[in-house]
Amino acid sequence: MLKAMKYRIYPNKIQIQLIEKHFGSIRFLYNYFLNYRQKAKLKVQKLHTKINNQRKDYLHKISDEITNQYDIICLETLSVREMMSNRRLAKSIAYALIVVQVQEKNHLI
């Protein structure tokens, strides 16, 4: 069984200065790399936001085109939840969002 031992140290002034320099440099490095990590996280966040906005814009354009081009629109009810469980189709299915957009633009709801 491992035992922990506690030691109390009583450093002199020079040793206190060395300890403060050591912990100050560690704090500086930690904050430096924390800032670096936060900047990288912000870049990824901006990229995801940009992609999300592009997808929304594309959906709006497609739904506008559908509503302006056709007088009668027939919609089929599909089980999107089951389709989303398929990993190969999950990212490419935007069917539910298009249906909602078309319904809102045609006042079908």
Q: Where are the domains of the chain?
A: 13-106
pLDDT at residue 2 is higher than 80: no
CA angle 54, 55, 60 (to 5 degrees): 95
Q: Write out the two tokens for 28.
A: 């500086």
> What is the band of 70 on the pLDDT scale with cuts at 50, 70, 90?
confident
Query: Tokens 């999950």 sit at which residue?
Result: 90
Report the pLDDT value the prediction gives residue 62, as an integer from 0 to 100: 86
pLDDT at residue 51 is higher than 80: yes
pLDDT digits (tens, 9 = 90+) for 26-42: 888 899 999 999 999 99
